[in-house]
Amino acid sequence: MSDHSSPEQLKKDIRVYMTIFVALLFGTALTVGLYYVHIPNVAATITIALIVASVKSFLVAGYFMHLISEKKVIYATLATTAFFFLALGALTMWSMHDFPFMTTVNGK
């Protein structure tokens, strides 16, 4: 677990923050660039954009929010949140395929 209290460590951290800053700007430019390239496959476009967004969010959460070196209680809190967040997503997916009896979809 890294200690953020020593000046030497903080100076190293600042270099990491700057590198991540550039990576985040580049990630944004990459996502927008891919939009203008206009990939015909919609699924591929969505997947790529969400992968780039996930990498960016990992950098922000991991380094700016110091999640890569946090205490157990925070990991436990976030693990619980992740469980319920995924459950919420799963319920959403489920609802897309589980209609009430006699429901018609696109006239069928």
Partner 1 sequence: MEIPYTITPRRDTGLYNAKVGIWLFLASEVMLFGALFSSYVLLRVGADFWPHGLLNIPIGTFNTWVLITSSVTVVMAWASLKMGNFKKGRMYLGLTILCALAFVGIKTKEYNDKFTHYAIRFKDEAGTTAFLKEAFGNDDAATKAGIVANTYGLDEAKRPFDVRDLQITGHIEGNPRFWSLAKLNANKTETVQFMPDAPQHPRHAKDGAEAKAESHGEHKAHTVKVSDLNYLSAYVPKHNTYFAIYFALTGLHAAHVIGGAIVMSYLFFFGGAMWKTQPERLTNRLEVAGLFWHFVDLVWIFLFPVLYLL
Minimum separation from the CB atom of position 101 to partner 1 (A)? 19
Residue from 2, 68, 81, 99 binding partner 1 (CB under 8 A): 81
Q: How far lies 103's CA from each of 69, 97, 98, in Å?
A: 50, 11, 10
Smallest separation (angstroms) from partner 1 to the CB of 88: 5
Q: Which residue has the tokens 């591929």?
A: 44
The one among 2, 53, 69, 99 contacting partner 1 by CB under 8 A: 53
| 83 in contact with partner 1 (CB under 8 A) | no
Note the residues at the interface with partner 1 (CB under 8 A).
4-5, 7, 10, 13-14, 17-18, 20-21, 24-25, 28-29, 31-32, 35-38, 45-46, 49-50, 52-53, 56-57, 60-61, 64-65, 71-74, 77-78, 80-81, 84-85, 88-89, 91-92, 95-96
